[in-house]
Amino acid sequence: MNNQNNLFPLSQDQKIIDYIFGGNALITVRNEDSKNRFTFKIKKCKNPKAIKIDLYWVLVLTMPDNNDEKSYKFIGALSREEGFRHSDKSYIKDNAKSVNVAYYYFNRLLGYSKFKLHDNIRTYHMGYCGRCGRLLTVPESIDSGFGPECSTLLNIPHEVREAEFKNTLFEQNYRGTEDYQIK
């Protein structure tokens, strides 16, 4: 299945931060003016030897098939405590655009820059739970990016404001079909 076009907006910085540190996150970051975008996978490191902080690996989608693990290339590490750092072990060099975008995006999002993310930078999840990676189906899960059980385990609110949900559904699924009605 090609899920490339299913983009669900994460509407607040806190939701984005909760999602990217869920353990199994898949996000697309898009500049809404230029439409340039990168898709990042952020996975929790299972064996952080002698490291006291929760460490996450960041991979970037480099090939069209977003369901193939081999399409994602490791670029660096991420933590709440230190932000994003490129890794020397990555085949993608630190002057690559994806690495520059990762520095810009994660470090501004997490407050490691005196500047905030520009308003035209939006973050989307792809319809998969940020913790377990399963396909999300209920509206509350689409809103937060986590299924009911994973929300509970992570202590993340599993609710949605009605107006926000309607807007999301409309924009994602019914664009250009304004006469469509849910019966």
Task: Find the shortest distance in angstroms from Cβ 129 to Zn ion.
Answer: 3
Give the nearer residue to Zn ion in terms of CB position, either 120 or 152. 152
Cα torsion 150, 154, 160, 166: sign: negative
Task: Find the shortest distance in angstroms from Cβ 55 to Zn ion.
Answer: 21
Task: Find the shortest distance in angstroms from Cβ 131 to Zn ion.
Answer: 4
Crossing angle of helices 97-109 and 13-20, rounded to 10°: 120
Contacts with Zn ion by CB under 5 A: the residue count is 5
Do the strands 121-125 and 24-31 form a parallel or antiparallel pair, or are they unpaired?
A: antiparallel
CB 20 within 8 A of CB 137: no
Placement of tokens 């407050």 in the chain: 111
Judged by CB under 5 A, the chain residues 118 through 147 that form the site for Zn ion are 129, 131-132, 147
Compose the 76-115 pattern: x for residues touching Zn ion by CB under 5 A, - for all others. ----------------------------------------
DSSP 3-state assignment of 40?
strand
Binding positions for Zn ion, rule: CB under 5 A: 129, 131-132, 147, 150
